[in-house]
């Protein structure tokens, strides 16, 4: 099944339209989950696929299902990603995968209608709710509920910094329902958000495993005081304690990274109270995460982090409370899926290699319940969660071709059978 120039142009035109939703001055997008602009993006996508005769449904936590019926009554193969973004995020992260899934499914339906082999499965495109986890935490929220890792009630009651719940946000943009569906296998394509494909001159990355990640919410408690008048000895400065923790996290990454295994530590969110110029902070809420390819290295780095927390409590005269945690172990993707994806890439003549993903994706959740294939296309300079994020048109189109070929293999029973 070869791709026509018209199909390529249609994909690029749709991607261009999609990128206008929440477009920022710097060439990125701001489509945080459950906001008005997330709602507008979801509605635009619904219009697009309904215009092609598909049916759109929502589940309790706002996951958006586009049903592409090939064989009435057959079970479903899912292709998914997410349309929400970081604030000032890139226009490819997530959005590319959802649109690629839709185009792949529509190409397949067209081919089958034109008299191809009868498939064993239908296709559902899933636009997962709140993959990014910036407005509402944690990330990968929709797929966590779908895979039974988080209760829907807990997610619906989760609030943003202004006290708005997920339920209220979803109702306000009208993308909530009571749909449910079981899927037989899962396929996701995403930009790499790293530079290994670009560095190695590859077009396709087959994701063989996730990194392990331990993500913690810490609350550093101090005592509000006057920045000028209060003696150093009398201070319990939450900002000092939290800053020392950020520095310690980086030192741990440097300390535990070897030639064989990399450790990555980060703090993305760091909020100071009361954050006034002449007030010693009473509290800082921050998130610290530690990631590694190797479970033993991750465990050692994690232990060091907790040892450092205790030392910082002493040094800065603060109390550090550990709040919620979100942990996923380094885990392999389905080996048969990897073999199938390699065969597909070879059949299309696309240069490919295996990669590991440091970032979490909805496939991180899905791979724990069904056979799952995760594909990457290159990111220029590995820039991600940034308005300057970029994947070239040829790389995007190559990814849609591969996704189409793999979806064809899946719906005709090459990985799983009903």
Residues of span 239-258 touching its own copies by CB under 8 A: 239-240, 242-244, 246-247, 250, 253-254, 257
Among 174, 274, 351, 394, binds its own copies (CB under 8 A): 274
d(CA 12, CA 396): 9
- Is residue 275 a contact point for its own copies (CB under 8 A)? yes
Please answer whether residues 32 and 132 qualify as being in contact, where contact means their C-beta atoms are separated by less than 8 angstroms: yes
User: Where do the H-state alpha helices sit in 30-165?
Assistant: 36-51, 95-113, 141-146, 152-157
| 192 binds its own copies, rule: CB under 8 A | yes
Q: How many residues of this chain interact with its own copies, rule: CB under 8 A?
A: 71
CA distance 289 to 277: 29
C-alpha 349/C-alpha 166 separation (Å) is 44
Sort 33 into a burial class: Cβ within 10 Å, 0-12 / 13-18 / 19+.
Answer: buried
- 73, 201, 228, 418: residue in contact with its own copies (rule CB under 8 A): 228
Q: Does 266 bind its own copies (CB under 8 A)?
A: yes
Which residue, 63 or 243, is less far from its own copies as judged by CB? 243
Task: Please identify, using beta-carbon distances, which residue of 227 and 392 lies nearer to its own copies.
Answer: 227
**Applying CB under 8 A, does 84 fall inside the site for its own copies?**
no
Site for its own copies in 92-131 (CB under 8 A): none
DSSP 197: H
**By CB under 8 A, is residue 358 in contact with its own copies?**
yes
Give the residue, chosen from 234, 321, 332, 368, that forms a contact with its own copies under the rule CB under 8 A: 234
Indicate the residue among 41 and 122 with the shorter CB distance to its own copies: 41
Verify binding: residue 418, its own copies, rule CB under 8 A.
Answer: no
**Which SS3 state, helix, strand or coil, does residue 284 take?**
strand
SS3 130: coil
Q: Does 23 bind its own copies (CB under 8 A)?
A: no
Binding segment for its own copies (CB under 8 A), chosen from 6-14, 56-64, 109-117, 135-143, is 135-143
The reply on whether position 267 binds its own copies by CB under 8 A is: yes
**Interaction between residue 88 and its own copies (CB under 8 A):** yes
> Taking a C-beta distance cutoff of 8 angstroms, is the pair 135, 158 a contact?
no
* Cβ proximity of 127 and 80 under 8 Å: yes
What 8-state DSSP symbol labels residue 359?
Answer: S
Among 20, 154, 180, 276, binds its own copies (CB under 8 A): 276
Taking CB under 8 A as the rule, does residue 72 contact its own copies? no
Which residue lies nearer to its own copies by CB, 122 or 379?
379
Contact flag: residue 353 with its own copies (CB under 8 A): no
- Rounded to whole angstroms, the Cα distance separating 132 from 202 reads 27
> Max alpha carbon distance in the chain (Å)?
82
Q: Which residues within the stretch 293-332 sit at the binding site for its own copies (CB under 8 A)?
A: 316
Task: Identify which of 243, 221, 269 has the alpha carbon closest to the alpha carbon of residue 385.
Answer: 269
Candidate residues 232, 296, 349, 418; the one interacting with its own copies per rule CB under 8 A = 232
Closer CB to its own copies, residue 120 or residue 280?
280
Tokens at 402, concatenated:
């591969």
Nearest residue to 125 (alpha-carbon basis) of 149, 147, 99: 99
């Amino acid at each position: 099944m070869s791709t026509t120039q018209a199909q390529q142009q249609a994909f690029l035109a749709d991607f261009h339209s999609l990128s206008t939703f929440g477009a920022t001055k710097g060439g990125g997008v701001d489509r945080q989950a459950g906001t008005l602009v997330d709602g507008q993006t979801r509605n635009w996508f619904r219009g697009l696929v309904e215009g092609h005769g598909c049916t759109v449904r929502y589940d309790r936590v706002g996951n958006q299902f586009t049903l592409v019926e090939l064989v009435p009554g057959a079970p479903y193969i899912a292709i998914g990603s997410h349309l929400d973004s970081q604030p000032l995020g890139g226009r490819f992260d997530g959005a590319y995968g959802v649109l690629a899934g839709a185009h792949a499914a529509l190409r397949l339906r067209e081919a089958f209608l034109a008299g191809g082999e009868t498939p064993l499965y239908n296709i559902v495109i899933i636009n997962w709710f709140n993959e990014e986890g910036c407005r509402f935490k944690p990330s990968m929220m929709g797929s966590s509920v779908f895979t039974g890792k988080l209760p829907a009630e807990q997610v619906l009651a989760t609030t943003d910094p202004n006290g708005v719940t997920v339920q209220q946000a979803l109702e306000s943009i009208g993308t909530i329902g009571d749909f449910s569906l079981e899927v037989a296998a899962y396929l996701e394509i995403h930009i790499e958000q790293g530079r290994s494909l670009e560095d190695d001159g590859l077009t396709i990355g087959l994701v063989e495993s996730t990194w392990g990640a331990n993500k913690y919410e810490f609350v550093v408690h101090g005592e509000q005081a006057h920045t000028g008048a209060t003696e150093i000895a009398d201070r319990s400065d939450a900002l000092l304690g939290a800053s020392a923790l950020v520095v310690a996290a980086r030192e741990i990454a440097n300390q535990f990274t070897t030639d064989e295994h990399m450790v990555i530590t980060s703090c993305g969110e760091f909020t100071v109270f009361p954050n006034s110029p002449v007030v010693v902070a009473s509290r800082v809420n921050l998130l610290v995460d530690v990631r590694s390819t190797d479970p033993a290295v991750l465990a050692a780095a994690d232990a060091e982090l907790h040892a450092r927390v205790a030392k910082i409590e002493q040094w800065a005269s603060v109390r550090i409370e550990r709040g919620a945690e979100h942990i996923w172990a380094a885990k392999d993707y389905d080996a048969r899926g990897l073999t199938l994806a390699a065969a597909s890439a070879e059949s299309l003549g696309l240069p490919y290699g295996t990669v590991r993903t440091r970032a979490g994706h909805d496939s991180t959740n899905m791979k724990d319940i069904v056979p799952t294939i995760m594909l990457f296309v290159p990111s220029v300079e590995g820039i991600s969660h940034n308005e300057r994020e970029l994947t070239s048109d040829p790389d995007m189109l190559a990814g849609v071709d591969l996704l189409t070929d793999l979806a064809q293999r899946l719906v005709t029973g090459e990985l799983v059978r009903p």
